[in-house]
Amino acid sequence: VAGRDEAAFEAFVAARSHDLLRTAVLLTRDRGHAEDLLQTALLKAYRHWHRIAADDPYPYVRRILVTTAASRRRLRTTQEIVALPAEDTISSLLPFSDPADEIADREQMTAVLATLPPRMRAVLVLRYAEDLSEAATAEALGCSVATVKSQTARGLARLRAVLASAPAASRPATVKEH
């Protein structure tokens, strides 16, 4: 990696690593594994940095991150979203009025997401956390739009089925404004 590419890599990591870490946390189960995933993705990108640095590297690196997470179950290990971040506290949670209900709600959703296969979960993260279109999600995952549609529909169906049968924390969701 040449000197100017080194500088570009430094700048990219400084500017976008937090965005990538946010996605990594959603794809994995805790901060430690998310950082490991992010490091792996950055390492893969760094190997080819001279080729990708000319354009905006973010979509490329995000694709590496997501496909690495989605394939870890098979390639080496899979990380499951089950843990609330250690930083979670009642005061940091969002607008529900009853903290106990809110924690239960989050834990319920976290537990249900953990039952989804990695690629299905990755599709839901990209579609609902990153607000990517079906086409952009397909591109990020290297799959067809039909697969994104199927994985989204089946992922939602599985969430619905499990949440509907769960006894607690079934209350209307509130979308946080950004």
Partner 1 sequence: MPLSDPDLEARLRNHLRARADDVPPARGDLARVTRARFRAERRRRLTAAAAGLAVLVVVGVVQVTGSGVLPWSRQSAVPSDGRSLYDLPVRGGLASDGAWLRAVADLPWESDSRPVPGRQSSRESRRVVYADDVPGGRVALVVGRVRGVTLATWVTGPEGAAPDGMSVLPDSIPIEDGEAVGLLDVGPGGPAENVLAVVGFPGQRFRFSNGHVADAAGRLSLAWQSLSPEDGVAVSVVPGRHAGDEQTRLRDVDGDDVALLSTERFSAYIPRMPEPADPRGLRDRVDDGELQFILDYLVGYYTEPAEAVDPVLLWAGPMGSGSGESGALIGITLPSGATAAGMVTYRAFDGTNPSSNQHTGGMSGGMAPMPAGKGLLERLIAVYSWNSVIVSGPEAGTVAEIVRGAAVVNTFPLVDGAGTGPCPDDLAVTVRVRNAAGAVVGETPLSRTVD
Considering only residues 62-121, where is the footprint of partner 1 by CB under 8 A? 71-88, 92-94, 100, 103-107, 109-111, 113-114, 117, 119-120
Using CB under 8 A, pick the residue from 2, 4, 18, 51 that binds partner 1: 18
Subset of 144-173 contacting partner 1 (CB under 8 A): 144-147, 149-150, 152-154, 156-165, 170, 172-173
Nearest C-alpha neighbor of 63 from the set 151, 8, 149, 138:
138
Handedness of CA 127, 128, 133, 134 (dihedral sign): positive
Query: In angstroms, rounded to a whole number, what is the distance separating the alpha carbons of residues 173 and 105?
Result: 9
For residue 132, how many C-alpha atoms fall within 13 Å in the half-sphere facing its CB? 24
132 binds partner 1 (CB under 8 A): no
CB of 54 to partner 1, least distance (A): 19
- Count of residues of this chain found to bind partner 1 when the rule CB under 8 A is applied: 92
